[in-house]
Chain A
Amino acid sequence: MSVQLSWFVARARRRFAMSRECSLLLPRVCAALADPRQPGSDDTCLEKLLDWFRHLAAFDPTEKLVQDNPCLTEFITSVLALPEPSPSILSFTLRLAGILAASENRFQHLQQEKLLVRLFGRDGPLNSAMWEDASVRSGWVEGVHSMMHHQPALHFLCNGDVIFTLQGDPSLFVASAASQLLVHVLTFSVEAEATKPLSTKDCDWPASAQMIIKHIEDSLQSSSASHIKQSLKLLTSLFGSCHATWTEVLWLGIAKQIESFLTEETVQAQHMLANLLLNMAWSPVFCDTEGSFWALVTSALERLTPVQAGPLAVGILRLYKCPQDVRIQALTVLLQPMDCILRAASQPLEYTGLLDESVSDPITVESLLSSKSSCASLLCQTLAHLEELLSLIRLPVDLPYTSLLRSLITILQFCNGFLSPASPLGSTISRILINCFRVQRSALDVLAALSERKGCDTLIGSLFDVLLAYLESPNTSPTVLKKTFQATSKWLVRLQELSCSNSQWQQTEKILEDVFLVLQKRLCSPCWEVRDSSLEFLTVLIKCLRDQDEFRQSLLSSEVPRLTENLLEDPESYVRASAVTAVGHLAFITYFAPESPVIGNQCNKENTVAKLQEILSTDSEGFPRRAVISIFTKWLRQGCTGQLEDTEQFVSRVIQTVEHDLDWEVRRGGLELVEVFCSQTVCQLGLSECPYAPVSSAVSSSIHQNELLQIFCRAKVFSFLFRSLCDCDKPVGQRACDILLGLRDNFYPVSTLKDSQGTGDSPAGRGIAWLQRTLGQGSLAQNFPTDDGNGVDFQDPESMMIVLGTIDLEELHDELNKSSDHMEKSPQSLLQDILATVGTTEENEADCY
């Protein structure tokens, strides 16, 4: 176990341990829960209580928990004695008993009083009226599942009938849990009880496994569709989770039957069959086999409809180890609709298709695509699968990228009515697809993903024609427009790469010009979603292409920069925030560029900065203010702020603006700015080589140290940092503490620190002592002293030096990093809360949030 992992385990053990306080509270809690006169406890309390017991039980498998806390068994006994327990308490009891019985010792302990038999046996709740309640059935299944970790529990479950029945429960939650339980029992039984490795020749299944396998075989042979489906589901999750070799033995016994479902189609479970085969294909047990399994997969790919076979096909194509003919068949399934689109759009003779006609059977796909009810869904599914494949970094299979791109372009042209082919199929499809947003969105997603792949370059001209048509069209919905922007930005990057290699600058320039023209329009859209997506698009472009001359020229000669600045005053706060980010990035190619092509042309540097400052200090909403502080930090990090004014003054002014911000994320953003400022200043003064690494010999230059302190005091860094330590919002305090720790290391080597902290009150007197006490006690709610009065003088470098050396920042750091709800989460708090609600009749939980 790694050191970190064992540290986490130890912490969790401590956190959830049964403390003395808890063991004193527990009997009262148990009594209250078992008392039918008490109003039912909040369900979340019961859930959290079970979470706690789960931890306790997992950390210590001995009987100690039940022996030391007899109230637990007493609780179970008293619930069993109730004539009519509430369903939630009964369900809780079943689950609790299961958790406790998860270890053999505790199982035996509970069985001494036959508690488990009474809870889970024939005479328990399962034959009472309570069984009608789904939460009781759910509790029963969960309880049994929890205890199935040792052989006595397996033997306890001598009859699986109840669980078999529960697979068809009206509650989907119960049915699903029952199926999972059977998978668990089967797996566990073979692992724990099989005396020798199982093989087809010598197959001696352990009793519990035998019972389940027989049930599977019987139901597969039955005439009941629901039983067949339940077993298929069970097998699917079994093969998905268990990759032991014995699963093949099980499979060989049922393979014929499963195959018959595929060929005879008497049971409508094609989706399930596809899922089952997919999970098997991913299991090393089956993917290495040759012959029959893969033949079945091929047959499934051929026989299932394209919609049913799609998920199987894409799953197969993601496999690295798979017979080539199966892969081709899977690829055929996926590419057939795209092939059909291409065929529908072109004259018969000119078509060079995606697929070899010998492998494709286009009739089914054609009929699906020419039907209104299935066309869009088949295309969307196919496109989603293609996107999934394209998102893989290493594709195990070669896709015909050029044809795929042509097909995508065709789909997008069908959707916006730019293509009305003469062929009957083409005209039918184009009629169905016109204005179909779903298909547009999916196609644009694939288009964006395709930009990463080589080999599509010949079509780039027509691709941009389509993209620009979408960007321009007033019919493009905001969500489609956003996807068009995403695809366009990706392809523009690709275009730049291409024009660098083949020097086709003219084409690039023309496209960029067109893009900025349409962007100008979109920035003025009445719809805020569109303005926002346009700004986001602009920012992405600047981030990716700011080093390209043509890009900078096209952008700066358009109206886009001016319109972007105008949007700093947009009524919608989301748009203002995006405008701030875009303006911030624009600055890199205007004000801060070494050879800016249009310095001082249309934008005024000071004005822009003043506008951003104003947003930071006056905007009524957090998003724009957060965006400003993040842009300022970015500027500072890239060393641009020096071009504006003195960086020290800049930082000082920003600090004064953000320290009273109501949004803690803005305050934390301010701290990030301070952190960058500090590390840069330290670097500049040569105290540290690396911005974020503390120096080993800190007292390298006391002159520099003094200068550093003075800079930080002048910039009001210390006052901001120390005030932030007391912030009511924890992340701010944490960040401030981290920065202070880093700063201190520049002034005090670790070795000297301990001595200075041990000397008691420092020369600065009460102020410092007060500070240490205030912070050390963790009384973060207290207000920090102000500069006037008896407080600390944050402007005094000497005092600050002493403060840094005196405060135990490590302890403070630990304190702040304790999650603020550690009390909220503690078992003791939970038990107290349950007890406190006893006797209260007022119902608060019905209220809405």
Chain B
Amino acid sequence: SYLSVFCLGPGAGQDVGRSCILVSIAGKNVMLDCGMHMGYNDDRRFPDFSYITQNGRLTDFLDCVIISHFHLDHCGALPYFSEMVGYDGPIYMTHPTKAICPILLEDYRKITVDKKGETNFFTSQMIKDCMKKVVAVHLHQTVQVDEELEIKAYYAGHVLGAAMFQIKVGCESVVYTGDYNMTPDRHLGAAWIDKCRPDLLISESTYATTIRDSKRCRERDFLKKVHETVERGGKVLIPVFALGRAQELCILLETFWERMNLKAPIYFSTGLTEKANHYYKLFITWTNQKIRKTFVQRNMFEFKHIKAFDRAFADNPGPMVVFATPGMLHAGQSLQIFRKWAGNEKNMVIMPGYCVQGTVGHKILSGQRKLEMEGRQILEVKMQVEYMSFSAHADAKGIMQLIRQAEPRNVLLVHGEAKKMEFLKQKIEQEFHVNCYMPANGETTTIFTNPSIPVDISLGLLKRETAIGLLPDVKKPKLMHGTLIMKDNSFRLVSPEQALKELGLAEHQLRFTCRVHIQDPRKEHETVLRVYNHLKGVLKDYSVQHLPDGSITVESILIQATAHSEDQGTKVLLVSWTYQVGILENILFKHLCS
């Protein structure tokens, strides 16, 4: 038995950009994540699904699609896949992911349409239609996709609702981690999985070798920078996507403002805070223990200091902090505010996430300070520019820790760079003595498994077998003989008689025959008698009989003699035996031929 993994990433290398993995396990095909690459404006942003199957429809080929979390590099191509490519089968994700995913997709759609008026992009209706096909799952709930295929979600940290998924068919299983985080952060807990011993663990390895200062340090740094700017009367712009990082930073600022008794206003521009906070409240069980505990006294997502933003506020004098979308400063509100504030060195822009090439965000992060805007205007950026990554991925230590927890038989690393992964691969192979794979996009990795297949044994057969030998012993495997019936995906071992009866078959016996030529001028019956006497003499332990019809039997072997049709001096011995005889027929032939 084997399972195979195919990464449908961008290009033939090991590039990171969007996640889309196809797993085939015991005849079932599952797509893990359906991500989009935000660095492209054309078809390259979506995986090329034509590679999945050359024959037939995707809906017939795939048994289900599983989405690990709401980031667009994991779910951004889903409406395209289900509403434009035409996949019409089941899609699974956790409840928070199902709630939050459409907000981010909608956010991105609006920006895409706003910027270019693109037509080859999914619509709002498509996002909704896609979400209506999604089956939401709970943590640790075993979901039966069909009679053989089951999936189960485990907590992954990383972002609200992020999950690792176990995919199981019979006794074979694969665990896909998605993005995960092994250390708890300000609002989420650490990933956890039980010792499920999967045949394969597919793990992300974004930070496979990166040594990062602790998140606490980064948070302190962030607060310090915001505080300093506000203190000197400057304005802070934080471009964000509608949900995710924004909430994390809101909690951070809210508690800091409270503690330091700061008065400068904090605004959130999109009007989505309410919705986002609603979800954080709704899915409070998905956050970390500290938040859950605090929730009893006070809801951490009900912000006292953070207010809705109005466009006119941007011109207000004095310090302020504004969260505005979109996160890459490439259109809309955040770009408009940036233009107003860029010229003042007292101000600051903090980019908390990745920016694709070409966006203003990318340009200022790479240090460009004179930007050509529309109408050939040059915008001089005097404000301070900071990049702060708060992303939560497992580092090498975390990945090792997860492997220790799950005890997989094989590991496959994805979502990382080849060079970085090589080091981790060696470490994993040395420490855990398991195979570790790191396939390039477009390559299929095949892993052979030794599944133990449960077989039911009929009571009759069991009784008969134990009657011959000893009683069954758990520690000593015992060889059983019987007829294996494979029917409707179940396996049963029964006695041959029962099998015949059940299947309505008549018994047939297979006999092998062979002709041995002997030079003997005597009559046929004399030849038979001579052979009989000879065999009787040499095969003392066996029952040798001369039957009235002139044939000889040695146990179940039958021997008859006839004269050769053309040469009366040659006698032909026809030997016939069943397959069960084995050794005896060898001995017999030796004697006949001699």
Contacts and interface: CB of A to CB of B under 8 A. Distances in A.
Interface of A: 42-45, 47-48, 87-88, 91, 133-135, 137-138, 170-174, 176, 271, 274-275, 311, 372-373, 377, 380-381, 384, 437-438, 441, 478-479, 482, 529, 532-533, 573-574, 620-623, 626, 660, 662-665, 728-731, 777-781, 783, 815, 818-825, 829-830, 832-833, 836-837, 840, 842-849
B166 interface: no
B56 A372 contact: no
Interface stretch (B360-368, B467-475, B555-563): B360-368
B46 interface: no
B387 A849 contact: no
B194 interface: no
B440 A47 contact: no
Across the A-B interface, the 4 shortest Cβ-Cβ residue pairs: A44-B39, A173-B442, A778-B375, A836-B366
Nearest to B336: A728
Interface in B102-124: 106, 110, 113-117, 124
A849 B115 contact: no
B182 to A, nearest CB: 16
Contact of A849 (B73, B110, B124, B128): B73
Interface of B: 6, 10-13, 15-17, 37-41, 44, 51, 54-57, 59-60, 71-73, 88-90, 106, 110, 113-117, 124, 128, 131-133, 147, 179, 206-207, 210, 241, 269-271, 274-275, 310-312, 314-315, 327, 330-333, 335-336, 339-340, 353-359, 362-363, 365-368, 372-375, 377, 387, 389, 391, 393, 440-444, 488-489
Contact of B51 (A43, A172, A381): A172
B280 to A, nearest CB: 15
B358 A849 contact: no
A728 B358 contact: no
Contacts of A275: 54-55
Contacts of B131: 574
A172 B53 CA distance: 12
Given A818-B374, A821-B115, A479 B132 contact: yes
A830 B60 contact: no
A32 to B, nearest CB: 12
Contacts of B311: 728, 783
Contacts of B377: 777-779
Contacts of A778: 374-375, 377
A728 B310 CA distance: 13
A424 to B, nearest CB: 13
Contact of B72 (A133, A830, A833, A849): A849
Given A170-B443, A821-B115, A134 B274 contact: no
Contacts of A662: 269-271
B81 to A, nearest CB: 15
Given A731-B114, A846-B210, A171 B71 contact: no
Given A532-B132, A573-B275, 19 more contacts: A44-B37, A91-B12, A372-B488, A437-B90, A623-B124, A662-B270, A729-B332, A730-B331, A777-B375, A781-B335, A783-B312, A822-B374, A824-B359, A829-B358, A829-B372, A832-B363, A836-B368, A846-B354, A847-B354
A213 B389 CA distance: 56
A843 to B, nearest CB: 8
Given A311-B55, A729-B332, A823-B372, A833 B354 contact: no
B333 A728 contact: yes
A819 B275 contact: no
Contacts of B90: 437
Contacts of B11: 43, 47, 135, 138, 173
A820 B366 contact: no
Contacts, number: 225
Contacts of A819: 115-117
A87 B89 contact: no
Contacts of A730: 114-115, 331
B15 A43 contact: yes
A830 B13 contact: no
B389 A377 contact: no
A820 B132 contact: no
Given A779-B377, A837-B366, A825 B391 contact: no
A381 B443 CA distance: 28
7 contacts: A176-B51, A311-B56, A479-B132, A620-B271, A663-B271, A731-B113, A848-B393
A820 B60 contact: no
Contacts of B365: 844
Nearest to B61: A377
Contacts of B440: 133-135, 171
B44 A47 contact: yes
A779 B339 CA distance: 10
Given A172-B51, A532-B132, A381 B57 contact: yes
Contact of B335 (A45, A660, A728, A783): A728
A88 B393 CA distance: 25
Given A844-B365, A848-B71, A482 B132 contact: yes
Contact of B387 (A441, A783, A844): A844
A438 B366 contact: no
Contacts of A660: 310
Contacts of A836: 363, 366-368
A664 B132 contact: no
Contacts of A780: 374
Nearest to A783: B315
Contacts of B113: 731
A621 B273 CA distance: 11
A821 B358 contact: yes
B269 to A, nearest CB: 8
A846 B357 contact: no
Given A135-B13, A848-B179, A815 B128 contact: no
B206 A846 contact: yes
Nearest to A825: B358
A840 B59 CA distance: 45
A848 B73 contact: yes
Contact of B374 (A174, A622, A815): A815
A271 B60 CA distance: 15
A848 B51 contact: no
A574 B128 contact: yes
B16 A846 contact: yes
A478 B195 CA distance: 35
A11 to B, nearest CB: 15
Contact of A731 (B12, B55, B117, B442): B117
A134 B12 contact: yes
A836 B363 CA distance: 8
Nearest to A438: B89
Contacts of B367: 836, 840
Nearest to B88: A441
A664 B110 CA distance: 9
B114 A664 contact: yes
A239 B374 CA distance: 48
A478 B133 CA distance: 8
A623 B488 CA distance: 48
A47 B132 contact: no
Given A728-B336, A781-B340, A836-B367, A848 B354 contact: yes
B100 to A, nearest CB: 13
A384 B60 contact: yes
B13 A848 contact: no
A823 B315 CA distance: 26
Contacts of A170: 443-444
A45 B116 CA distance: 20
Nearest to B124: A623
A849 B332 contact: no
A135 B363 contact: no
A582 to B, nearest CB: 15
Q: Which of A479, A623, A818, A824 has the most CB of B within 10 A?
A: A824
A170 B443 CA distance: 6
Given A44-B39, A441-B88, A849-B72, A821 B132 contact: no
Nearest to B6: A172
Nearest to B241: A849
Contact of A173 (B12, B270, B312): B12
